[in-house]
Amino acid sequence: MIYELNEKQFTPHSVVVQSARNFASAIAKTEQYGTFLKAAEELRDDQGAQQAIAAFQHKQKSLQMVPMENTISPEDQFELERLHKAFMEKQSVKAYFEAQDDLMAICTQAAQHLSSKIGINYPSACAGGCCG
């Protein structure tokens, strides 16, 4: 049996690892990544937002304990929605999600660029990544 090989199949592991490090370093130098880190820190330090998130998660978890055959009462559904809205209205939460979206957009652009250079649909080849 004859195999057709190309240079991509023989790229040394060390080159792949260094390329990944260079790629990560380039992403880490972007404005979007810096903004995301700052937003994550501000969210972590915002006690009001942390309390609102915890209240929502507590209610959500308590409702997950309801047996599947039982439905959530309208009151519980209303309370869950109210708690979700309460934490989503916090400025630090809004800033965090906006920064996350911006970072994911640049990651998607990078994945598309990478796909065009390597000839593989990179997002499809990555299981569960942020490449979209």
Name the band, by pLDDT with cuts 50, 70 and 90, for residue 122: low
Q: Where are the domains of the chain?
A: 30-117
Between 75 and 2, name the one with better pLDDT: 75
Q: Out of 35-44, 73-82, 88-97, 105-114, which region has the weakest mean confidence (pLDDT)?
A: 105-114
Most trustworthy range by pLDDT among 42-46, 60-64, 65-69: 42-46
The alpha helices in the chain, defined as continuous H runs, are: 13-28, 31-45, 47-64, 74-88, 91-118, 122-125
Phi, psi of 73 (to 5 degrees): -65, 155
pLDDT for 1: 45
